[in-house]
Structure 1
Amino acid sequence: MCLVAHRKICKACRCSQEEHSLSSELEDDRRIGRLLADSQYSSLTARLKGGDGGRVYKRNRMIVTNPNISGKDPTFDTVTYEWAPPGLAQKLRCETCKQTVPGDCPVVFAARAGYARQWHPACFVCCRCAEPLADLIYFWKGGAPWCGRHYCESLRPRCAGCDEIIFSEDYQQVEGLAWHKKHFACLECEMPLMGKPFTLANTSLLCTICSQSKRL
Structure 2
Amino acid sequence: AMQYMELIPKDMQPVAGTDGAYYRRRQLLRQLPVYDQDPSQCRGLAEGEVKLMEDFVKKYKAEALGVGEVALPGQGGGGKEEGKAQDTGLAAGKAPETTNGALESAPAAGLYRCDTCKQAVPEDCPVVYADRAGYTRLWHPACFVCCRCAEPLVDLIYFWRSGAAWCGRHYCESLRPRCTGCDEIIFSEDYQQAEGLAWHKKHFACLECETLLSGKAYSLDKGSLRCATCSRSKRL
Partner SS for 1:211: helix
Q: Which has the higher strand share?
A: 1
Measured in 2, the distance between the counterparts of 1:89 and 1:203 equals 50
Letter in 1 for 2:121: V
Q: Which has the larger radius of gyration?
A: 1
TM-score, with structure 1 as normaliser: 0.59
Give the paired residue count. Answer: 145
Larger relative contact order (CA 8 Å, sep ≥ 6):
2
Alignment equivalent of 1:90, drawn from 106, 109, 112: 109
Does the alignment pair 1:164 with 2:184? Answer: yes
For residues 94 and 117 of structure 1, the distance between their equivalents in structure 2, rounded to whole angstroms, comes to 7
Show the counterpart of 1:182.
202
Give the match for residue 43 of structure 2.
Answer: none
1:130-172: per-residue Cα shift (whole Å, max 9, x none)?
2323733211223221000000011111111111111111111
TM-score (normalizing by structure 2): 0.55
CA-atom RMSD in angstroms: 2.6
Deviates more, 1:183-192 or 1:97-106: 97-106
Q: Is the 8 A contact 1:138 1:145 kept in 2?
A: yes
TM-aligned CA deviation for residue 36 of structure 1: 7.0
Distance in 1, matches of 2:184 and 2:120, equals: 40
Call closer, same or farther: CA 1:110–1:180 in 2, change over 3 Å.
Answer: same
Q: Provide the C-alpha distance between the structure 2 equivalents of 1:184 and 1:36, rounded to a whole number of angstroms.
A: 53
CA distance in 1, matches of 2:120, 2:145: 18
- Runs of 4 or more above 6 Å deviation: none
Whole-angstrom CA distance in 2 between matches of 1:36 and 1:202: 51
Q: Which runs of 5+ in 1 are unaligned?
A: 1-31, 48-84
Note the alpha carbon deviations across 1:53-94, whole angstroms, 9 max, x for none: xxxxxxxxxxxxxxxxxxxxxxxxxxxxxxxx8432212111
Structure 2 spans left out of the alignment, 5+ residues: 1-81, 94-103
